[in-house]
C-alpha cells in the first residue's frame, strides 16, 4: 500500500475540497448530477459526472456532492437531471457555470458552491433583445473586479468568507447594487451599512466579506441604490444562509443567487408585415428602409418591439401566388420585393429617376400589386446594375459580404438563373441540373461562364437588400426597439434548399395542420416534411445556419408553428386538404394490437366507405352520372373510386377536365367538396410504408363509416382514438422537441417566441417553460376549452398576448362579424348587459387594447390595424379589407397595405400620445424618445451617512421583524 504520508505539502499538489449544493425537486427515479470540464467532473461526459445526494432541509430538497481539485482550479460545469442509468432527462439552460478558485485559498480548505438551478426564463436577459437593445445602456459598464478575485482574506477560525453574486441586467444611470442583511457586516438591514457589490461582467455583480459564525443563520437581500438616493430592495422573502448548510465546516462559501428579484419586466410592441407598410418613398410595397420610420413611430408610441412576417425570397411561381410569405424559395435569401431601388446608387441617371417617379404613381394603389411591383423593381434594378456592377462587385464591402455568405449565395443565384432559364422552379425539370452538385454549381457561377452577369445580378440584389435591412436593424437597436423576425416552419418543395439538400426533406409528403379554429378540414401548406434523422447527423446544421443568418438582422424571432418541432401533421403528397393526415413522429396502431381488440376488417375501415344512399343524398338526381364518372360498383349498393380519381389531386384534376361535367348539377367547387367527403369517409389511415400499421382518422366519429359500425367496434376505436391523439405520444413528442429546440435556441442569442396555437399536446407548455420559450395568447382562441374568450389578466408571464394576428380577422372585423358573439363578449368580458354597438368604435378598441396592455404577459403586441381602430378617421376602410391572411384559402393573395402612410402616423400626435399613455399607465417599459444613448456608469452614489429610520411592528416574531426591517428600506 502506498504511504500517502510520503508526500509533504511542499512536494505534493495543493488540494481543495469543493462542495456543490443546489436545491431542486425531482420526481421518483430522477437524480441530480454535476458535470464539467475537468476529469473529476467527467470532462463533459455526463455518465462520468458527479452524482449528487439528496437531503431534506425544511421544505427544500438539497442535492450535494464533493470533489477534490487543485488550488487555483478553473473549470466550467453544469447541472443535469438524470435517470437511474444516468440518461439525461433535463439540463440547465444558459451559459456554463464557472468554477474559479482564488489562489489565496490554502491547501486543505473546504469550499462550498451554493447554486440555484438556471431555468430557461433566467437566460432571457442575456438574449440580444435585452442585452443589446432594451438594456443596452448597461453594456457600457466596466469590469471592476472579475470573478475569482477575492477582496478580503480569511483570518479567524470562527469566521467564514462569503462571496455574494447576483445577476442584475437592468440598471439605470448611476445606480449601484448592494446586499443588506442581518449581520453587522451587511448593515443590520440599514442601507448605509450595506455591502456594495462590484461589477464582474455579463450583468453579474459580486462582493465578499468575512462573517463570524455567530451571525448565522444569515438573512439578506439585494437591492439597487440610484443616484437620486432611493434604495429599491428586491421583492420576495429574505434569502437565507443556514448554519446547517455549512457543509463539512466550509470556510469559503460562494453564493450564486441567480437573478435579482424584481417586478417582472413587461414591454409592448406592434406587428405589421413588411409588404403592408406604406410610406411616401416606397414603390408599391413596404421596403426595408421604411422600417426606420416604423421604428420611429414605435418609439413615439411607447413600443419596444416591431414584429414582421417572414422576409425571405418566395419567388417560386413568378406570379401573385408568391405573395405567400411562408413558402420560402430560400431560407437565407432576402426578398427582392423589399428593395428600395432609389438607394442602389447615388448617381442614378435622370431618365431612370423619371421612370421611378412614374412607377411610384402607377403602383400607389390600395393593395399590393405583387407581379407589377416585382417586375418594375427588377427592371429598374437591372438598369442600375448594368451601370454600376463593376464598381459594386469590386468594392471591399461587397467582397466581405460575398465571402461571408457564399455558401448559400452561390446556390441561390444559380437557382434563380435556372428557374428563369427553364421557366420553372421545379428542379426535377432541369435536365442535368436537376441533381445538385458543387462541381456543376462552380461551373455555372464561374466568372468565365456565359451566364456570369445574370448570376452576379442576383448577388447584387442580395447585397443591397443586406445593406438596407442592416441599416434599418441598426437604427432599431439604437432606438431601443427589438426587431422581431419570423421563422417559417417549412420551405417550398421547389426551393433552393430542397435542390441543394434533398436528403433533409421527405419529398413525398406534405405538411399542414389538423382541423382547428381556422379550418374544419385542416390545412395543407404543401411543404415537404423534414427528415429529422438525417438533419441530426450534423447536429442540425441547416437549422443552425438559418438562425445565424436571422440574427444578423433580428434580436427576437417567432418560431412559426412550434408544435411542428414536437410533431408535424404529415399528409400524402396527393392530398389537397389537410384532414386525412397523421402525426409524425407517432406510435401507430398495429394490426396485432387491433386484432386483439376484435378489429379485423381493415379494408372496410381504411378504404372509402361509399353506399348508394350516400350518393343519392349528396348528388340527388345526378348521382348516377357522378357514379359513372368517378366510381365503380364493387358490390351491390357499395362503390369505390376509380384508379384515375382515387386521391384528392386526381379528383380535382378530373373535375377540371371532365367532359361530362356539364351534365352535373351544382358548381365544380360543390362537386369537389362532396367527392372529397366521400374519399375521406374512412376510420383508419393505412401507413403507406408499412401496411400493418394504422392511424385513426381525425374526428373519425363524424364519419358515416364510423356511424355504421357495430357498438363494440365503435367503443374500441373511440378509446384508441383518444389514446392516440391525447396520451400515447406525449413522451415521444417531448423527446423529439428536446432534441431539436435546444439546438435552435443555442444557435443565436435572439429572444425566442413560439406560436403555440392549435391542438396543443400536454407536453408542449412544460417543454416551452423549461427552455424559456415565450408562448402566444390570442383572446379569441383561448387555451382553456371551457372559455370562449381568453382572460388577459390571467395570462402567464412567459407569453405574448394580442387581440388578433395575421392569420385571423382584425379586432375591428372580428367585432363586426357576429352579433351574438359580440353580445356575449360585451356581457362576459366587458361586464355590460347593454346592447353593444355594431361597429368597433374607438371606445371598444381602447377597452380591448387596455385589457392586453395591462395583462401580466411579458409582451403585448398589437397589429397596426388594431391600433388604428383607436381613431375614427382611420376606420373608414371596410374592416374586412384589413385582414392579412385567410387560412382556409391555400391560394390567398397576401396583399394588404395600410391606407395610412408612416409619415402621417408620425405627425399624428394625438394617436401617439394616447397609445403611449396606455403603455405608461400599465407599468410596461417604454423606450426613451431621444436620439442619444444614455451612458451608464457603475460609479454609483454611496448611501447617505445618516442612519435609516426603521419601524418595527409591535408583538411581531423575530422573523417577521426582520422581514419588516427589510421592507422598511423600500
DSSP calls for 184-243: GGGGGG-GGGSEEPEEEETTEEEEEEEEEGGGPSEEEEEEEE-TTS-EEEPSSSPEEE-G
Give residue 899's Cα distance to chain centre. Answer: 30
For the record, the C-alpha cell of 633 comes out as 360498383
Transcribe 495-546 into DSSP letters: SHHHHH-GGGEETTEEEEE-S-SS-TT-EE--PPEE-HHHHGGGTSHHHHHH
By DSSP bridging, strand 523-524 and strand 509-513 are: antiparallel
How many CB atoms neighbour CB 198 within 10 A?
18
Distance CA 201, CA 697 (A): 56
Distance CA 532, CA 296 (A): 42
3-state per-residue secondary structure call for 627-685: HHHHEEEEECCEEEECHHHCCHHHHHHHHHHCHHHHHCCCCHHHHHHHHHHHHCCCCEE
Distance CA 580, CA 562 (A): 21
For residue 670, give every residue at least 6 positions away whose Cβ sits within 8 Å of its Cβ, in sequence order, or none. Answer: none
For the record, the C-alpha cell of 185 comes out as 457586516
Phi-psi region of 248 (alpha: psi -120 to 50; beta: other; left: phi over 0): left
For the record, the C-alpha cell of 280 comes out as 411616401
Q: Residue 213 class from Cβ within 10 Å (0-12 exposed, 13-18 middle, 19+ buried)?
A: middle
The 3-state DSSP class for residue 552 equals coil
CA angle in degrees (0–180, nearest 5) for 52-57-59: 115
Count H helices, E strands: the chain?
27, 38
Q: How confident is the model at residue 12, as a pLDDT?
A: 57
R_g of the chain, CA atoms, integer Å: 32
Instruction: Give the phi and the psi of residue 114 in degrees, each rounded to 5.
Output: -100, 110
Q: What is the pLDDT of residues 273-320, one digit of tens each?
A: 999 999 999 999 999 999 999 999 999 999 999 999 999 999 999 999
Bridge partners, residue 859, by sequence: 267, 800
Bridge partners, residue 232, by sequence: 224
Distance CA 42, CA 48 (A): 4
Q: How confident is the model at residue 668, as a pLDDT?
A: 83
Q: How confident is the model at residue 104, as a pLDDT?
A: 84
Distance CA 898, CA 864 (A): 8
Please give the C-alpha separations between residue 364 and each of 272, 288, 367, 898, 901, in angstroms, as whole numbers. Answer: 19, 17, 8, 12, 11
Please give the C-alpha separations between residue 668 and each of 616, 662, 726, in angstroms, as whole numbers. Answer: 18, 10, 37
The 3-state DSSP class for residue 746 equals helix
How many CB atoms neighbour CB 33 within 10 A?
23
CA dihedral 222, 227, 229, 230 (to 10 degrees): -50
Question: Do 267 and 304 touch, CB atoms closer than 8 A?
Answer: yes
Strand ranges in 29-153 using DSSP code E only, listed in sequence order: 31-36, 50-51, 53-57, 60-70, 74-82, 88-91, 97-100, 110-114
Q: How confident is the model at residue 785, as a pLDDT?
A: 85
Which residues of the chain are modeled with pLDDT < 70?
A: 1-13, 139, 156, 243-248, 658-666, 930-970
Q: What is the pLDDT of residues 172-230, one digit of tens each?
A: 888 999 999 999 999 999 988 999 999 999 899 999 999 988 899 999 999 999 988 89
Residue from 695, 601, 682, 683 nearest 641 by CA: 682
Residue from 298, 628, 214 nearest 477 by CA: 298
Residue from 702, 488, 688, 670 nearest 579 by CA: 702
How many CB atoms neighbour CB 611 within 10 A?
16
The 3-state DSSP class for residue 726 equals helix
For the record, the C-alpha cell of 938 comes out as 457603475
CA angle in degrees (0–180, nearest 5) for 871-877-880: 110
For the chain, give the number of residues: 970
For the record, the C-alpha cell of 247 comes out as 457543509
Question: Do 216 and 159 touch, CB atoms closer than 8 A?
Answer: no
Bridge partners, residue 569, by sequence: 512, 583
User: Helix crossing, 396-422 with 438-445: angle to 10°?
Assistant: 110
For the record, the C-alpha cell of 51 comes out as 452524482
3-state per-residue secondary structure call for 478-501: HCCCEEEEEECCCECCCCHHHHHC
Please give the C-alpha separations between residue 519 and each of 383, 516, 758, 783, 789, in angstroms, as whole numbers. Answer: 45, 6, 11, 17, 19
Bridge partners, residue 685, by sequence: 695
Amino acid at each position: 500500500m502506498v504511504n500517502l504520508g510520503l508526500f509533504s505539502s511542499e512536494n505534493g499538489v495543493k488540494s481543495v475540497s469543493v462542495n456543490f449544493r443546489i436545491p431542486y425537486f425531482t420526481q421518483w427515479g430522477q437524480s441530480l448530477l454535476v458535470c464539467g470540464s475537468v476529469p473529476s467532473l467527467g470532462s463533459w461526459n455526463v455518465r462520468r459526472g458527479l452524482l449528487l445526494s439528496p437531503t431534506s432541509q425544511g421544505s427544500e430538497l438539497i442535492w450535494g456532492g464533493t470533489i477534490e481539485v487543485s488550488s487555483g482550479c478553473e473549470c466550467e460545469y453544469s447541472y443535469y437531471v438524470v435517470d437511474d442509468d444516468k440518461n439525461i432527462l433535463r439540463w440547465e439552460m444558459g451559459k456554463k457555470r464557472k468554477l474559479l478558485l482564488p489562489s489565496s485559498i490554502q491547501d486543505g480548505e473546504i469550499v462550498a458552491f451554493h447554486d440555484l438551478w438556471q431555468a430557461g426564463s433566467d437566460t432571457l436577459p442575456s438574449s440580444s433583445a435585452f442585452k443589446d437593445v432594451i438594456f443596452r445602456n448597461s453594456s457600457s459598464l466596466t469590469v471592476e473586479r472579475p470573478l475569482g478575485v477575492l477582496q478580503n482574506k480569511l483570518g479567524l477560525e470562527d469566521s467564514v468568507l462569503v462571496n455574494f453574486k447576483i445577476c442584475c441586467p437592468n440598471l439605470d444611470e448611476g445606480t449601484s447594487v448592494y446586499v443588506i442583511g442581518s449581520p453587522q457586516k451587511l448593515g443590520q438591514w440599514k442601507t448605509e451599512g450595506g455591502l456594495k457589490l462590484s461589477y464582474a461582467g455579463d450583468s453579474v455583480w459580486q462582493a465578499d466579506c468575512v462573517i463570524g459564525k455567530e451571525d448565522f443563520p444569515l438573512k439578506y437581500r439585494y437591492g439597487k441604490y440610484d443616484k437620486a438616493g432611493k434604495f429599491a430592495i428586491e421583492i420576495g422573502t429574505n434569502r437565507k444562509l443556514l448554519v446547517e448548510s455549512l457543509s463539512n465546516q466550509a470556510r469559503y462559501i460562494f453564493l450564486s443567487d441567480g437573478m435579482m428579484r424584481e417586478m417582472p419586466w413587461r414591454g409592448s410592441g406592434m406587428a405589421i408585415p413588411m409588404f403592408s407598410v406604406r410610406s411616401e418613398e416606397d414603390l408599391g410595397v413596404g421596403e426595408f428602409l421604411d422600417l426606420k420610420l416604423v421604428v420611429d413611430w414605435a418609439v413615439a408610441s411607447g413600443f419596444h418591439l416591431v414584429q414582421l412576417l417572414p422576409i425571405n425570397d418566395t419567388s417560386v411561381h413568378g406570379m401573385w401566388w408568391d405573395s405567400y410569405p411562408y413558402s420560402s424559395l430560400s431560407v437565407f435569401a432576402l426578398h427582392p420585393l423589399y428593395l428600395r431601388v432609389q438607394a442602389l446608387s447615388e448617381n442614378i441617371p435622370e431618365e431612370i429617376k423619371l421612370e421611378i417617379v412614374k412607377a411610384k404613381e402607377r403602383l400607389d394603389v390600395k393593395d399590393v400589386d405583387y407581379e407589377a411591383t416585382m417586375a418594375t423593381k427588377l427592371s429598374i434594378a437591372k438598369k442600375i446594375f448594368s451601370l454600376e456592377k463593376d464598381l459594386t462587385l469590386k468594392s471591399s464591402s461587397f467582397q466581405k459580404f460575398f465571402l461571408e455568405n457564399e455558401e448559400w449565395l452561390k446556390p441561390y443565384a444559380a437557382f434563380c438563373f435556372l428557374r428563369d432559364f427553364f421557366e420553372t422552379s421545379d428542379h426535377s425539370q432541369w435536365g442535368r441540373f436537376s441533381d445538385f452538385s458543387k462541381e456543376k454549381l462552380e461551373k455555372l457561377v464561374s466568372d468565365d461562364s456565359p451566364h456570369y452577369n445574370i448570376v452576379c445580378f442576383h448577388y447584387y440584389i442580395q447585397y443591397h437588400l443586406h445593406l438596407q435591412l442592416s441599416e434599418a436593424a441598426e437604427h432599431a437597436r439604437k432606438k431601443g426597439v427589438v426587431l422581431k423576425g419570423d421563422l417559417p416552419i417549412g420551405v417550398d418543395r421547389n426551393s433552393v434548399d430542397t435542390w441543394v439538400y434533398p436528403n433533409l426533406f421527405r419529398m413525398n409528403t406534405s405538411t399542414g395542420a389538423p382541423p382547428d379554429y381556422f379550418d374544419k378540414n385542416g390545412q395543407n401548406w404543401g411543404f415537404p416534411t423534414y427528415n429529422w434523422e438525417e438533419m441530426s447527423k450534423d447536429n442540425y446544421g441547416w437549422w443552425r445556419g438559418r438562425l445565424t443568418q436571422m440574427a444578423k438582422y433580428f434580436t427576437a424571432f417567432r418560431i412559426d408553428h412550434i408544435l411542428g418541432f414536437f410533431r408535424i401533421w404529415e399528409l400524402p403528397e396527393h392530398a389537397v386538404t389537410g384532414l386525412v393526415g397523421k402525426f409524425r413522429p407517432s406510435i401507430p396502431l398495429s394490426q396485432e394490437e387491433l386484432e386483439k381488440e376484435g378489429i379485423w376488417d381493415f379494408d372496410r375501415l381504411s378504404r372509402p366507405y361509399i353506399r348508394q344512399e350516400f350518393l343519392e343524398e349528396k348528388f340527388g338526381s345526378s348521382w348516377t352520372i357522378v357514379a359513372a364518372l368517378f366510381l365503380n360498383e364493387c358490390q351491390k349498393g357499395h362503390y369505390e373510386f376509380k384508379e384515375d380519381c382515387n386521391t384528392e389531386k386526381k379528383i380535382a384534376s378530373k373535375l377540371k377536365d371532365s367532359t361530362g361535367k356539364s351534365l352535373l348539377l351544382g358548381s365544380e367547387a360543390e362537386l369537389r367538396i362532396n367527392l372529397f367527403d366521400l374519399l375521406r369517409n374512412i376510420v383508419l389511415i393505412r401507413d403507406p410504408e408499412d401496411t400493418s400499421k394504422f392511424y385513426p382518422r381525425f374526428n373519425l366519429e363524424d364519419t358515416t363509416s364510423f356511424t355504421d359500425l357495430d357498438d363494440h367496434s365503435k367503443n374500441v376505436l373511440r378509446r384508441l382514438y383518444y389514446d392516440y391523439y391525447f396520451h400515447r405520444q406525449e413522451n415521444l413528442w417531448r423527446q423529439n422537441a428536446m432534441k431539436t429546440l435546444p439546438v435552435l435556441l443555442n444557435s443565436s442569442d435572439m429572444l425566442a417566441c413560439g406560436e403555440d396555437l392549435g391542438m396543443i399536446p400536454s407536453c408542449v407548455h412544460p417543454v416551452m417553460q423549461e427552455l424559456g420559450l415565450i408562448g402566444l395568447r390570442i383572446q379569441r382562441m383561448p387555451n382553456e376549452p371551457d372559455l370562449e374568450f381568453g382572460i388577459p389578466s390571467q395570462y402567464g408571464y412567459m407569453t405574448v398576448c394580442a387581440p388578433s394576428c395575421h392569420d385571423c380577422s382584425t379586432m375591428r372585423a372580428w367585432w363586426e362579424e357576429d352579433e351574438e358573439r359580440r353580445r356575449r363578449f360585451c356581457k362576459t368580458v366587458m361586464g355590460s348587459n347593454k346592447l353593444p354597438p355594431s361597429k368597433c368604435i374607438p371606445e371598444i378598441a381602447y377597452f380591448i387594447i387596455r385589457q392586453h396592455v395591462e395583462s401580466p404577459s411579458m409582451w403585448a403586441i398589437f397589429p397596426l390595424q388594431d391600433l388604428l381602430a383607436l381613431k375614427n378617421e382611420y376606420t373608414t376602410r371596410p374592416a374586412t379589407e384589413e385582414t392579412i391572411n385567410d387560412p382556409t384559402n391555400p391560394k390567398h393573395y397576401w396583399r394588404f397595405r395600410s391606407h395610412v402612410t408612416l409619415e402621417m402616423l408620425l405627425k399624428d400626435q394625438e394617436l401617439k400620445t394616447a397609445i403611449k399613455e396606455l403603455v405608461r399607465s400599465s407599468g410596461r417599459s417604454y423606450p426613451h424618445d431621444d436620439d442619444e444613448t444614455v451612458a451608464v456608469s457603475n460609479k454609483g452614489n454611496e448611501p447617505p451617512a445618516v442612519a435609516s429610520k426603521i419601524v418595527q411592528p409591535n408583538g411581531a416574531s423575530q422573523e417577521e421583524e426582520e422581514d419588516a426591517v427589510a421592507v422598511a428600506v423600500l
